[in-house]
């Protein structure tokens, strides 16, 4: 270990990255009786603006089932933990985060054995995903931030927002020494901002860019429809999100192709009205501006863990060389269901210096 072991229970937590996971960590840390000061470090967010990170691009779909209708790993535990946190935010900030009128409908049912042979997703009947929830991602992010400020005040603890970014392994080392001198720990929840260069060790992750298209909800869509792609009512039913593209590092397709594919899939599998809402794709001379002028694009990078027999599951661990540094990443497309549960695990493990809080399946092999 580069750092000597932490002598006492830490009193300071520095969290790097203010997405769903980092903000949930802030709240869990504030709630811990040993912690007197929490610092959040993120260059691109403020109380009133979110312009980076996957969380702000999320479509807000939260449910615990796989495409085959089975529970994802820790899906039910995650659902309960997330719902609890969302309820706390709604109660304390008066923000409306859950879209209460909406159901999540899986078009063509689940991909179970009945349609294995013909590979046609739409052969089964549509079904409602029980317990599925639609969350307004920006309302939730602002709400988490506000709740952290409320909690810090109530509990008389220091809460610091720092707009610096963490850019290299050397910076991580320096930070860990400074923090250690103040009896503190670091939690890296930087989403796609983390890399082997910054972590200084191999992380079993890959990155995938996703884009969503947001337009006016002219057809009063009430429920979310999904089947791989999705169409989701958003912003108190004023908007619809169409999503998402899946653009990998080595993916040579240009963005126009990604959008064309997305529209075709949505038309075919989900929502034939897309053609009306999303008129013929037009290209300008630079191959840009292919979408209706009134639409907004949100993009974010998903951090994918490796596929295992349990599916892709988040990665939570302590640094192999820096004793007071931890990571929580690899949430893929399911950050809403796992963020609160994982935040609790990593905060408990770090504050108590006890890795048994983290299931071994989540640790870096």
The two most distant CA atoms of the chain are separated, in Å, by: 64
Q: Which residues contact 202 (CB under 8 A, 6 or more apart)?
A: 196
Residue 259 near residue 290, CB atoms below 8 Å: yes
Q: How far is the CB of 226 from ligand FAD (least distance, A)?
A: 9
Cα–Cα distance, 89 to 323 (Å, whole number): 32
CA 110 to chain centre: 24
User: Is residue 334 at the binding interface for ligand FAD, with CB under 6 A as the rule?
Assistant: yes
3-state helix, strand, coil in the chain (%, to 5): 35, 25, 45
Helix (H), strand (E) at residue 61: strand 61-62
Candidates 20, 110, 140, 271; binder of ligand FAD (CB under 6 A) is: 20
Pick between residue 59 and residue 240 the one whose CB is nearest to ligand FAD.
59
DSSP 291: S
Chain residue whose CB lies nearest ligand FAD: 193
Task: Return the range that interacts with ligand FAD (CB under 6 A); candidates 30-38, 44-52, 66-74, 123-131.
Answer: 44-52
Pick between residue 16 and residue 313 the one whose CB is nearest to ligand FAD.
16
Q: Which residues contact 181 (CB under 8 A, 6 or more apart)?
A: none
- Across-strand partners of 127? 106
User: Is residue 337 at the binding interface for ligand FAD, with CB under 6 A as the rule?
Assistant: yes
User: Is residue 65 at the binding interface for ligand FAD, with CB under 6 A as the rule?
Assistant: no
User: Is residue 304 at the binding interface for ligand FAD, with CB under 6 A as the rule?
Assistant: no
User: Is residue 240 at the binding interface for ligand FAD, with CB under 6 A as the rule?
Assistant: no
Which positions from 85 to 104 touch ligand FAD by CB under 6 A, shown as an x/- string? --------------------
Pick between residue 32 and residue 55 the one whose CB is nearest to ligand FAD.
55
| Binding residues for ligand FAD (CB under 6 A) | 16-22, 41-45, 52-55, 57-62, 165-167, 189-193, 210, 212, 243-244, 300, 302, 331-337
């Amino acid at each position: 270990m580069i750092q000597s072991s932490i002598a006492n229970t830490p009193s300071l937590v520095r969290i790097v990255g203010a997405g769903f996971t980092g903000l949930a960590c802030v709240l869990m840390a504030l709630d811990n009786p040993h912690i007197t000061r929490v610092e959040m470090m993120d260059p691109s967010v403020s109380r009133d603006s979110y312009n980076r990170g996957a969380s702000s691009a999320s479509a807000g779909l939260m449910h615990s089932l796989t495409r085959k209708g089975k529970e994802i790993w820790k899906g039910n535990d995650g659902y309960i933990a997330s719902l609890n946190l969302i309820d706390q935010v709604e109660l304390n900030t008066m923000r409306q985060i859950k879209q209460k009128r909406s159901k999540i409908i899986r078009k063509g049912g689940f991909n179970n054995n009945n349609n294995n042979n013909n590979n046609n997703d739409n052969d089964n009947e549509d079904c409602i995903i029980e317990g599925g929830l639609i969350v307004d991602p920006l309302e939730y992010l602002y709400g988490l931030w506000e709740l952290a400020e409320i909690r810090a005040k109530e509990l008389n603890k220091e809460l610091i927002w720092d707009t610096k970014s963490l850019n290299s392994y050397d910076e991580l080392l320096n930070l860990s020494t400074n923090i250690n001198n103040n009896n503190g720990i670091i939690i890296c929840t930087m989403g796609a901002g983390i890399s082997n260069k910054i972590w200084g060790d191999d992380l079993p992750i890959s990155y995938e860019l996703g884009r969503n298209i947001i337009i006016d909800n002219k057809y009063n869509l009430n429920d979310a429809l999904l089947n791989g792609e999705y169409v989701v009512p958003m912003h108190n039913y004023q908007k619809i999100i169409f999503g998402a593209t899946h653009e990998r590092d080595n993916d040579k397709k240009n963005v126009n192709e990604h959008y064309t594919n997305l529209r075709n899939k949505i038309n075919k599998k989900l929502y034939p009205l897309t053609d009306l809402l999303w008129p013929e794709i037009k290209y300008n001379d630079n191959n840009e501006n292919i979408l209706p002028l009134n639409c907004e694009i949100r993009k974010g990078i998903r951090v994918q863990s490796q596929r295992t027999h349990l599916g892709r599951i988040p990665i939570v661990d302590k640094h192999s060389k820096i004793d007071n540094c931890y990571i929580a990443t690899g949430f893929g497309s399911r950050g809403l269901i796992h963020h609160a549960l994982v935040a609790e695990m990593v905060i408990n493990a770090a504050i108590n210096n006890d890795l048994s809080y983290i299931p071994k399946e989540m640790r870096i092999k």
